[in-house]
Amino acid sequence: MRNQGHPESSWYAATGSPFADLPPLDGDIQADVCIIGAGFTGLGAALELARKEVRVVVLEAARVGSGGSGRNGGQIHTGQRREQPWLEARLGADAAMALWGLAEAAREHLVGLIAESGIDCDLRPGLIHARHRPGGEAEDAAFIDHMDRVYGCRRYELLDEEALSKALGSGVYFGGMVDHGGGHLHPLNLTLGMARAAVAAGAVIHENSRASGWRRKAGKLAVETARGEVTCDRLIVSGDGYIDGLSARIDARVMPINNFIAVTEPLSDPGILPDDMAVADSRFVINYFRKTADNRLLFGGGENYVPWFPADIAAFVRGHMTRIYPQLSGARISHAWGGSLGVTMNRLPYVRELEPGVWTAAGYSGQGVMLAPLVGALLGRATLGEREEADLLSTLPCPPFPGGRLLRWPALVAGMSWYALRDRFG
């Protein structure tokens, strides 16, 4: 089943900064705003609200950062999950420009948050996009030109096959580009740092306090847990890949998928990622990798679409890793773990006011490190009536997955597996 708690097998848990247990909710309490989920979204909202002296209570089913936020690849992808030309074609030039502005604000927000809260999370610059098929160089060059002309963005640099092979220490790709605005970080330490900052600003966080639902109560909202409830004026529901039946509307649109990571023993080969950038490739099931601060290779590869993890995650990821780095076929894997993330049909985040005073954001589809802290803050603002940006995100289309809660799994498995096969043989 999906892991809860910080997986002990995770390199992040092994190197995370100390964070004392926070007591579960025990009894009935009051708050202005209650937040469900202590990941980037929930903590981004908590921090924003607590700094504005709003009484905020966060309910976390397991531990702070035990969802995707504390387990992910740590890759900072700039922009939205869909590229600007895709957004222009589907949503129009104005909406695409507004979404670019929001993504840029998210990048600044993340960097500012880390700096002003003094969060030690190994932030490093540079993310390489690597092409796994021949051809495509002209398309990459056109994209770089488009981003410069339309958005004034000059952060991308084209890499030919030789330059890419040198930057990676692997010759399996056919060229790509560097996004000098992207980068990577230690996501659990970012999450714990956000929680510390929120608590210091006055937020209350209860761990091991799963919200089982909410109801209207005398003009307010009551959020229920096993041992008490929070009565509040507004509610923010985060939970992403871990939401698990709390809201049928979210469930219909945000599908949890599982993704897996392995970390090697410290590398002896200085040729692997000498510039310390992160890499994501162009496969549908993306391979993504980077070095850790203690010089290991952290490699994300392989997904599954069922409610359980493979028995041997290290072996599951090793195959993907050694196709790119055959020189690591004998390397020991010191840590391996999995996690769940929410994806939407069109890979755009699902941000909505579910009912008056109840907001949600989820389904960042692999782009949450950069987007979620700001989107959380925007939901916080929306609960105070500053709704402009949350309203913009709410206009993004987010169709339900076909098949409903029970039948969507077979449909997703069939659809995703087809794309995965196309990666291999297409």
Ligand X SMILES: Cc1cc2nc3c(=O)[nH]c(=O)nc-3n(C[C@H](O)[C@H](O)[C@H](O)COP(=O)(O)OP(=O)(O)OC[C@H]3O[C@@H](n4cnc5c(N)ncnc54)[C@H](O)[C@@H]3O)c2cc1C
Task: Give the x-and-dash track for 144-173 against ligand X (CB under 6 A).
Answer: ------------------------------
Task: Give the x-and-dash track for 242-261 against ligand X (CB under 6 A).
Answer: xx--x------------x-x
Of 361, 301, 363, which is closest to residue 82 (Cα–Cα)? 363
Q: How far apart are CA 193 and CA 188, in angstroms?
A: 8
Number of residues that bind ligand X (CB under 6 A): 45
Write the CA distances from 34 to 60, 168, 228, 252, 384, integer angstroms. 11, 45, 13, 23, 13
Q: What is the 3-state secondary structure (H, E, C) of 174-204?
A: CCEEEEEEEEECCHHHHHHHHHHHHHHCCCE
* CB proximity list for 315: less than 8 A, separation 6 or greater: none
Nearer Cβ to ligand X, position 22 or 38? 38
Nearer Cβ to ligand X, position 53 or 59? 59
Write the CA distances from 423 to 165, 185, 413, integer angstroms. 20, 28, 15
Contact 112, 374 (CB under 8 A): no
Stretch that binds ligand X, among 119-127, 291-299, 359-367, 381-389 (CB under 6 A): 359-367
Task: Give the x-and-dash track for 202-231 against ligand X (CB under 6 A).
Answer: --------xx--------------------
Rule CB under 6 A: choose which of 230, 372, 390, 396 binds ligand X: 372
Q: How far apart are CA 420 and CA 423, in angstroms?
A: 5
Closest approach, Cβ 344 to ligand X, in A, equals: 11
Our finding on whether 240 is near ligand X (CB under 6 A) is yes
Closest approach, Cβ 309 to ligand X, in A, equals: 11
Q: What are phi and psi of 172, to 5 degrees?
A: -85, -10
Stretch that binds ligand X, among 8-16, 194-202, 248-256, 369-377 (CB under 6 A): 369-377
Rule CB under 6 A: choose which of 364, 390, 408, 412 binds ligand X: 364
Task: Give the x-and-dash track for 278-317 against ligand X (CB under 6 A).
Answer: ----------x-----------x-----------------
Torsion region of 164: left, alpha or beta (phi above 0 gives left; psi -120 to 50 gives alpha): alpha
Task: Give the x-and-dash track for 14-53 against ligand X (CB under 6 A).
Answer: ----------------------xxxxxxx-----------
Nearer Cβ to ligand X, position 390 or 425? 390
Q: What's the one-letter identity of residue 118?
A: G
Burial class (CB in 10 A: 0-12, 13-18, 19+), 8: exposed
Our finding on whether 390 is near ligand X (CB under 6 A) is no
Closest approach, Cβ 192 to ligand X, in A, equals: 12
Closest approach, Cβ 95 to ligand X, in A, equals: 22
Q: Nearest to ligand X by Cβ — which residue? A: 368
Of 343, 178, 324, which is closest to residue 259 (Cα–Cα)? 343
Closest approach, Cβ 92 to ligand X, in A, equals: 26
Nearer Cβ to ligand X, position 232 or 369? 369
For 315-372, the DSSP string reads HHHHHHHHHH-GGGTTPPEEEEEEEEEEE-TTSS-EEEEEETTEEEEE--SS-HHHHH
Our finding on whether 369 is near ligand X (CB under 6 A) is yes
Q: What are phi and psi of 234, to 5 degrees?
A: -135, 155
Closest approach, Cβ 149 to ligand X, in A, equals: 27
3-class secondary structure, 158: strand
Q: How far apart are CA 420 and CA 426, in angstroms?
A: 9
Q: Scan residues 129-148 and list those touching ligand X (CB under 6 A).
A: none
Nearer Cβ to ligand X, position 167 or 246? 246
Instruction: Calculate Rg over the CA atoms of the chain.
Output: 21
Our finding on whether 75 is near ligand X (CB under 6 A) is yes
Closest approach, Cβ 48 to ligand X, in A, equals: 14
Residues that bind ligand X (CB under 6 A): 36-42, 59-62, 66-69, 71-75, 77, 210-211, 238-243, 246, 259, 261, 288, 300, 339-341, 362, 364, 366-370, 372
